[in-house]
Amino acid sequence: MDDYIKRLDQIRKWLVKNGLHALIIPSGDPHQSEYVAEYWKAREWLTGFTGSAGVAIVTQDHAHVWTDSRYFLQAETELKDKPFGLMQKSAKTLGYVDWLKQHFGKGNIIGIDGQLVSESQSRKYENGFSDKGIEFLLVDDPFSEIWESRPSFPKTSIFFISEETQDRTRIEKIQFVRNHLTESSADAMIVTDLDEICWVLNIRGSDIQCNTSVVSYLVISSQSVDLFIDREKVPAEIQKIFENEGICLHTYRYIRGFIMAQERETKWLVDPAKCNASLFALLSTENVMEETSLIYLEKAIKTPLEVKAIKRTMLKDGVALTRAFMWLENTLESRSVSEDEFAKMIADFRSKQKGYFSESFPAIVGYQAHGAIVHYRPTKESASLINNSGMLLVDSGGHYESGTTDITRTIALSEPDQKVKAHYTAVLKGHIALASVVFPESTRGVHLDALARQHLWAEGLNYGHGTGHGVGFFSNVHEGPYGISPMIGGERNRPLKAGVLITNEPGFYLEGKYGIRIENMMLTVLHSATEHGKFLAFETLTWFPIDLACVDFRKLTRDEIYWINSYHNQVREQLIPLLSNPVEKFWMIEKTKPIPFGKIG
Amino acid sequence: MDDYIKRLDQIRKWLVKNGLHALIIPSGDPHQSEYVAEYWKAREWLTGFTGSAGVAIVTQDHAHVWTDSRYFLQAETELKDKPFGLMQKSAKTLGYVDWLKQHFGKGNIIGIDGQLVSESQSRKYENGFSDKGIEFLLVDDPFSEIWESRPSFPKTSIFFISEETQDRTRIEKIQFVRNHLTESSADAMIVTDLDEICWVLNIRGSDIQCNTSVVSYLVISSQSVDLFIDREKVPAEIQKIFENEGICLHTYRYIRGFIMAQERETKWLVDPAKCNASLFALLSTENVMEETSLIYLEKAIKTPLEVKAIKRTMLKDGVALTRAFMWLENTLESRSVSEDEFAKMIADFRSKQKGYFSESFPAIVGYQAHGAIVHYRPTKESASLINNSGMLLVDSGGHYESGTTDITRTIALSEPDQKVKAHYTAVLKGHIALASVVFPESTRGVHLDALARQHLWAEGLNYGHGTGHGVGFFSNVHEGPYGISPMIGGERNRPLKAGVLITNEPGFYLEGKYGIRIENMMLTVLHSATEHGKFLAFETLTWFPIDLACVDFRKLTRDEIYWINSYHNQVREQLIPLLSNPVEKFWMIEKTKPIPFGKIG
């Protein structure tokens, strides 16, 4: 407690010294990453709240943390003995911007570290506050003066992606950007998004947990390519290759100086949704051309070699999960297993597959009531003991050199009752409806979302998260700009295109009891081109049995039974040759037994 | 031809005289009505193109009409011997705004009759043209000087709606608006939308064909209610009642003078999407509060008495249609029937029902290839002769004192082939999916649209129109702000609410062959309220048989067969008591025979 009071006190002194009345402390990094390196977890250090999403506000009289429903429980526990109050984001409570507008007015100044906020978001703050005459200020990192024993700056080595998965060389990708510069009559593009930089340069790293990205900036102009990364992170042989290819290395923090040193007339292409506000502020506005990043859009369309690799990866992942779930079943016969231990075992089984790199996100192993906490992640302290009864939800994924995976299965550890079966069956029917849909090419995720929910809706049920998100290639497990959700005009709602890799993950959560989610990854593919236009469809890529013990067969249509049988048939045919012993093979045969057609209702 | 050349010449002279380089001639009236009185059909008079949607552009060198695919055929025929070129609106051709931007630049002035364009649309023009340095000007009606023997200004008598359908008196509705004025700290609201005026005052009229509205303006302030309508249109007894209720009558064209005479500080509530730009221009901008019209939003939620009345109306409509379709079947046994004649007969049968007022839109009777022209309307010249073979699409509706109807049925006049059946069945399955869906209360039409299309999509098919539109009460057959369509951020895409009356009308159109559409009206109702939130559903209100001769039963699920049988059961039980003779009753029994459950595939 004393530590946290001291930290808060330091921030308040910093506010006074800098003439600010309030400071917004978000969870981001200078690259608007979803996951951030320890070095940037200032909000966590200051408040003690470790959830990945949350904003702290510090004024002389108040200190609060705002977070959403995923983290209410965790935040309540973690903030209990801290000097920060918890503000639960909901329709009923004030958001932090409205709260600030209620507490401050003309003559007040509110600041934020301009590196931790995108230019677009910064404009929204500015507009919001200016209504009330509040001044909004971008400041330099306040924690650089305050945070003692701050974690060191990320400095893992970078490496090249495998040539087997590389359809385009660095040179070709740089040329692709340069062609766009020419078309747009621009001189240079600033790339700040870490996975965009990795994509262009065909590199990866491990600067951030569960990520494959490299903390850096990239500037591509018609003449030069400048990569801002601490040189010690670039192995000598890569330095040499970069040099040959005309890619200049600069120290990471020199990006600001570099931008300032450019000629004033330089015409910049910048994505204001990605570029941080401090960096953006260095550009003279009349020479900035704003647009959604070309790389962001291109990266989401998976290439033939990437697709080939992802398909191989899915088989490895299926084998690893087979072993993990078999291990659980066997172990439960003699003892209980903590959620935490099972999460580790899953990663362990994955790590035995060739080309494995890391988890693609911290696994969610939610036993019974924990399954109903949508973003639950077991820790040593929180973990329940799994035993031979009830429901278990497991959402996990891996980064492999040959692609990134994300899969959720929910299994019954004892005979489920009718209520569980009704919920599970409604979720499964929605999953199948989305997996089977054919749609014209202008269709967006928002149009398809109801297909996955309709059977839950019919029973007065629903789930509070989106139905699908894009997945990167050996890259971010959550990737824009495509998604499937009811959000209108959201960031991730573009018309779907062939080549988009996306998840299908309807669910249902009964608070205090259990959670159900069935998630496969799907590739968007061309289905047909007729005189009525082009039609797309989804090809399911994930191969692992769905637990039929939880399904009420009488509620399935003939088409749904056909889908399940055909899916399980493919799971079996593809995975059995990769399994090493008869016990594994027998397990797989058991789990993929066809549903008799006589069983429809 | 000579007439049209002369008219064009007059407009060009008018342009020169007024210093304009181009004139935009839209299809509207000063109230942004969908259908307009003859008095405002200047574009039609000038160009000879009679379609309801289209824009003419006149410059010294060019004269063009832009219209959309619904009207290509008609426009081509009508413009053949006229001095106007046809510009077919499509993804490939320039819209008229882009065309004007391509042909004009700095120093040029483009005008439009400021009464025929909403303030919102006018701003869009202004922004669009200012990019190119073009000046955009609101002008007074150019046709007042040019149009000889212009149709007279609409002057039908107004009347009160039946008390049976009136949940709120005029006084109560005016108070409802005044409460909103108080809440908004506004002094007065300008109501320009004709059906909004009718709704507030519980009046109707017949100023416009197929409409029930009254050409007028209304201003409601905390002290007064001012209705701008030519006094001769208001019967003496209504004048007296208005006088007692404090509703002042003014001549229609005095609205401008009235607005200008108000104190400068008057705070106005105005909906810029509705108010015409000329009227809006009279208000001092600092005193205007813009918002979506409160009346527009309130009117769409049907009241208990309205719902009761609509349900009665649907039975009358079903009886009228029964007689019309029986008449067609009988007549076809001895002779062919023109589309035009059948359209008149339908209106005729409707007119025999008590409380009938008029058609709610010009009926679409599309035989064979004509059925594939989505907004086809038979005229004496265009009408085909219907005989005992092929497919017939009939989309018609009536205004009754007790509500407005809109229904489409497609019937086979001979045994349909497998292709027709496949198309018809896919449309019907979509209709049923939408009719049966349950959804949480934040759901918008855009979320549900795919349910109606999914079975067509599965076969690489689609339709080019929306799936559903709101319907007014004894009022506009197309009513906002609710709808079901794939449009993102469209005007008619609010979260659905209980009380919203909406159509369900998927279709399929095979060019040159036939059109299929199945349309019922539905009421949005509360389905359930659980701990997971409020859920809504649709209650189908239209009662008339769906032609099962066109259905491939093997493609139906058990639930779909159940829906059809249960629908036809209700059609039969409700209509038979209202039919007068055994032949009619027998016909109805035949048309609503249940599908045996053994027939599912």
**pLDDT tens profile A50-79:** 988 899 999 999 999 999 877 887 899 899
B354–chain A Cβ distance below 8 A for any pair: no
Residue that has been written with the tokens 């045996």 in this structure: B596
- Is A580 exposed, middle or buried, given 0-12, 13-18 or 19+ CB atoms closer than 10 A? exposed
Q: Which range (A68-72, A238-242, B575-579) has the least confidence? A: A68-72
Give A-chain residues touching B496 at CB under 8 angstroms: none
User: In chain B, what percentage of residues exceed pLDDT 70?
Assistant: 99
> According to the model, what pLDDT value does residue B597 have?
79
What is d(CA B73, CA A299) in angstroms, rounded to the nearest whole number? 44
Give A-chain residues touching B532 at CB under 8 angstroms: 460-462
Of A437, A449, A488, the CB nearest to B454: A437
Q: Do A530 and B460 touch (CB under 8 A)?
A: yes
Predicted confidence (pLDDT) at residue A601 exceeds the cutoff of 70: no
**d(CA B434, nearest CA chain A) in Å:** 10
> According to the model, what pLDDT value does residue A270 have?
97
Of B457, B528, B533, the CB nearest to A438: B457
Give B-chain residues touching A464 at CB under 8 angstroms: none
**d(CA B488, nearest CA chain A) in Å:** 7
**Identity of the amino acid at B429:** K
> According to the model, what pLDDT value does residue B600 have?
55
B512–chain A Cβ distance below 8 A for any pair: no
Predicted confidence (pLDDT) at residue B491 exceeds the cutoff of 80: no
Spell out the alpha helix ranges (H) of A365-409.
none
A528–chain B Cβ distance below 8 A for any pair: yes
Confidence band for A415, pLDDT divided at 50, 70 and 90:
very high
Instruction: Give whole-number Cα distances, B381 to A434, B200, B364, B377, B384, in Å.
Output: 48, 41, 15, 11, 9
**d(CA B267, nearest CA chain A) in Å:** 20
Question: Is omega for the bond preceding B481 within 30 degrees of 0, making it cis?
Answer: yes
Coil, strand or helix: which one is B133? coil
* Residue ranges of B 458-487 with Cβ closer than 8 A to chain A: 458, 460-462, 486
> According to the model, what pLDDT value does residue A492 have?
79
> According to the model, what pLDDT value does residue B94 have?
85
Q: Do B460 and A557 touch (CB under 8 A)?
A: no
Q: Do B438 and A461 touch (CB under 8 A)?
A: no
What rounded mean pLDDT belongs to chain A?
A: 95
Predicted confidence (pLDDT) at residue B518 exceeds the cutoff of 90: yes
- Residue in chain A closest to B530 (alpha carbons) equals A460
Of A360, A317, A374, A366, the C-alpha closest to A342 is A366
What is d(CA A594, CA B426) in angstroms, rounded to the nearest whole number? 29
> According to the model, what pLDDT value does residue A599 have?
58
Q: Do B451 and A446 touch (CB under 8 A)?
A: no
A510–chain B Cβ distance below 8 A for any pair: no
Give B-chain residues touching A463 at CB under 8 angstroms: none
Sheet holding A479-484, edge to edge: A438-440, A533-540, A520-530, A501-504, A468-470, A479-484
What is d(CA A594, CA A114) in angstroms, rounded to the nearest whole number? 57
| Per-residue tokens: B151 | 């149709």
A209–chain B Cβ distance below 8 A for any pair: no
Give A-chain residues touching B438 at CB under 8 angstroms: 454, 457-460
| Per-residue tokens: B126 | 């202004």
- Contact indicator for A474, A204 with CB cutoff of 8 Å: yes
Task: Identify the DSSP state of A68.
Answer: -
What is d(CA B128, CA B122) in angstroms, rounded to the nearest whole number? 10
> According to the model, what pLDDT value does residue A502 have?
98
Q: Do B488 and A454 touch (CB under 8 A)?
A: no
Three-class secondary structure assignment of B473-525: CCCCCCEEEEEECCCCCCCCCCECCCCEEEEECCEEEECCCEEEECEEEEEEE
> According to the model, what pLDDT value does residue B599 have?
58
Of B351, B324, B348, B471, the C-alpha closest to B403 is B471
Predicted confidence (pLDDT) at residue B187 exceeds the cutoff of 90: yes
Of A447, A461, A528, the CB nearest to B446: A447
Of B456, B463, B461, B481, the C-alpha closest to B471 is B481
- Residue in chain A closest to B445 (alpha carbons) equals A447
> According to the model, what pLDDT value does residue A320 have?
98
Read off the pLDDT of residues B422-445 as tens digits, 9 standing for 90 and up: 999 999 999 999 999 999 999 999
> According to the model, what pLDDT value does residue B377 have?
85
A458-463 contact pairs (CB < 8 A, 24+):
A458/A426, A458/B437, A458/B438, A459/A422, A459/A426, A459/B438, A460/B438, A460/B527, A460/B528, A460/B530, A460/B532, A460/B535, A461/A423, A461/A426, A461/A508, A461/B530, A461/B532, A462/B440, A462/B532, A462/B533, A463/A506, A463/A507, A463/A508, A463/A509
Read off the pLDDT of residues B104-118 as tens digits, 9 standing for 90 and up: 999 999 999 999 999
> According to the model, what pLDDT value does residue B107 have?
94
Q: Please give the average per-residue pLDDT across A258-277, as a whole number.
A: 95
Q: Which range (A346-355, A446-455, B75-84, B167-176) has the least confidence? A: B75-84
Q: What are phi and psi of A286, to 5 degrees?
A: -70, -15
Angle of CA points A52, A53, A59, to nearest 5°: 115
What is d(CA B165, CA B256) in angstroms, rounded to the nearest whole number? 34
Of B443, B460, B528, the CB nearest to A460: B528
Name every residue whose Cβ is closer than 8 Å to that of residue A3 and which is 6 or more positions away in sequence: none
Q: Do B486 and A442 touch (CB under 8 A)?
A: yes
Predicted confidence (pLDDT) at residue B339 exceeds the cutoff of 90: yes
Q: Please give the average per-residue pLDDT across A164-191, as a whole number.
A: 97
Predicted confidence (pLDDT) at residue B92 exceeds the cutoff of 80: no
> According to the model, what pLDDT value does residue A382 have?
84
Q: Do B440 and A457 touch (CB under 8 A)?
A: yes
Question: Is omega for the bond preceding A378 within 30 degrees of 0, making it cis?
Answer: no
Residue that has been written with the tokens 């109230």 in this structure: B31
Q: Which range (A82-96, B313-327, B565-579) has the least confidence? A: A82-96
**d(CA B441, nearest CA chain A) in Å:** 11
Name every residue whose Cβ is closer than 8 Å to that of residue B446 and which is 6 or more positions away in sequence: A446, A447, A488, B484, B485, B486, B487, B488, B490, B493
Predicted confidence (pLDDT) at residue B54 exceeds the cutoff of 80: yes
> According to the model, what pLDDT value does residue B52 have?
85
Q: How far is CA A260 from the centre of its chain?
A: 33
Q: Do A488 and B446 touch (CB under 8 A)?
A: yes
Confidence band for A1, pLDDT divided at 50, 70 and 90:
low
Q: How far is CA A399 from the centre of its chain?
A: 13
What rounded mean pLDDT belongs to chain B?
A: 95
Residue that has been written with the tokens 């082939």 in this structure: B417
A601–chain B Cβ distance below 8 A for any pair: yes
> What is the CB neighbour count within 10 angstroms for residue B273?
19
Question: Regarding predicted confidence, which is higher, A263 or A597?
Answer: A263
Q: Do A437 and B450 touch (CB under 8 A)?
A: yes
Q: Please state the length of chain A.
A: 601
Question: Regarding predicted confidence, which is higher, B557 or B598?
Answer: B557
What is d(CA B190, CA A404) in angstroms, rounded to the nearest whole number? 58
Read off the pLDDT of residues B254-312 as tens digits, 9 standing for 90 and up: 999 999 999 989 999 999 999 999 999 999 889 999 999 999 999 999 999 999 999 99
> According to the model, what pLDDT value does residue A600 have?
55
Read off the pLDDT of residues B198-230 as tens digits, 9 standing for 90 and up: 999 999 999 999 999 999 999 999 999 999 999
Coil, strand or helix: which one is B274? coil
- Residue in chain B closest to A560 (alpha carbons) equals B557
Spell out the alpha helix ranges (H) of A2-95.
2-17, 42-47, 72-79
- Contact indicator for B195, B479 with CB cutoff of 8 Å: yes
What is d(CA B39, CA B217) in angstroms, rounded to the nearest whole number? 17
What is d(CA B252, CA B222) in angstroms, rounded to the nearest whole number? 21
> According to the model, what pLDDT value does residue A493 have?
86
